[in-house]
Amino acid sequence: MPAPLTPASRRLVVAGGLGGLALAVTGCDAVDRLIGDSLDSGVSPAPGATVSPTAPADDADSALVDKVVAVLSTTAALATQVGTQVPALARIGARLARLHDAHVRELGGTPASGTQSPKVAAGRGPARNQLLAAEAGLQNQLVAAAQSAQSGALAQLLASMAAAVAQQRAVLG
């Protein structure tokens, strides 16, 4: 029968970890220099050019962003109007309008200045239902936009916005 293993001391484990880390860092730098030198083709970007792995979205994504900004602005205007016309829903309307305005800014747009005046259903219940239906529609449009985005970063941003709307809908339930 083999002899039982003796437990390693704390000092031995820490020293071994630090030694391994030092070896890994040194080794990575050496490999980096080796690979970097062999792969260097001598071609470099023009001075002042920006090179980024997450390049700006193409024209299809630009059109998609414009469409999403318009939908967000319309829904924000409805939320603001519901909050203004139905005092019992003022807090909910203001919260949703702030959320949508923040999303518009994140996409590079400018929040609507209140020039739009959507028609709001009369009464607390119908106005709340109208607002919740608009939020459900917005969520579906954000999900569809995330699925059709060409840029991964844009798709993640739109999906995050859809999740934020879904969370607010769940709270308002």
* Per-residue pLDDT tens listing for the chain (173 residues): 666 666 766 676 566 666 655 555 555 444 445 445 444 445 555 555 554 445 454 577 899 999 999 999 999 999 999 999 999 999 999 999 999 999 999 998 888 765 567 888 888 889 999 999 999 999 999 999 999 999 889 999 999 999 999 999 998 87
Encode the chain in three state secondary structure.
Answer: CCCCCCCCCHHHHHHHHHHHHHHHHHHHHHHHHHHHHHHCCCCCCCCCCCCCCCCCCCHHHHHHHHHHHHHHHHHHHHHHHHHHHCHHHHHHHHHHHHHHHHHHHHCCCCCCCCCCCCCCCCCHHHHHHHHHHHHHHHHHHHHHHHHHCCCHHHHHHHHHHHHHHHHHHHHHC
Examine residue 135 and state whether it is found in any structural domain, yes or no: yes
Domain contains 36: no
Containing domain of residue 150, as a range? Answer: 59-172
11 inside domain? no
Does residue 121 lie within any of the structural domains?
yes
**pLDDT value of position 16:** 61
Count up the domains in the chain and report the number.
Answer: 1
Q: Is residue 132 part of a domain?
A: yes
pLDDT at 112: 72
